[in-house]
A = this chain, B = another copy of it.
Amino acid sequence: MYDGAMAELIEQLGRLPGIGPKSAQRIAFHILDADPDDVARLVDAVREAKARITFCSVCGRATETDPCRICGDPRRDQTIICVVEESRDVIAIERTREFRGVYHVLGGAISPIDGIGPNDLRIAELMRRLADNTVGEVIIATDPNLEGEATATYLSRMLADLGVTVSRLASGLPVGGDLEFADEVTLGRAFAGRRSVT
């Protein structure tokens, strides 16, 4: 239906995550109508990011410097490592301003359906960071879903005999939500994890 260059653009846009054929078509027409300078900025941003962003050799997160800003920050507590699945999880936790330790990015979660096993994750790198016994606590902050739980369980077994404190982020009711709308698993977790307030 579309001519060559347009068909190719829609095809390539449609390969991006969360972009279906309709969105790809909409974005393609937007690009055609857009100011050439704006399009050049988009193209440059993609190329620059791809060229300049690498992965931190310590924690494994996406960064422009190696080590990344967090691993290289002397004010961060290097004795507490928070283990997350993806670089974007680091950003989410940094936004809370609750955590002053450092991170370790696994690069995913154990998922037999997707063929991702422990050896596909940066677990060996985590064990190496723990080898000199300077780390006192590992906080497992994988996603609260099936894959994340499986990964947390696997990690906690791996870390059990290292003499390091291993903790897991609390599950429970999201703040600002309505109890009546909570799903039963979350509500069950909230009960199981209830804390004394007296």
Contact = CB atoms under 8 A, between A and B. Distances in A.
A42 B1 contact: no
- SS of A interface (majority): helix
B53 A6 contact: yes
A77 interface: no
A9 interface: yes
Q: How many copies of this chain sit in the oligomeric assembly?
A: 2
Interface residues of A, number: 50
Contact of A9 (B31, B45, B69): B45
Contact of A49 (B28, B45, B86, B91): B28
Contact of A46 (B9, B49, B52, B63): B9
Given A32-B50, A45-B9, A50-B32, A63 B27 contact: no
Given A2-B91, A3-B64, A42 B46 contact: yes
B95 A1 contact: yes
A94 interface: yes
Contact of A5 (B3, B11, B48): B48
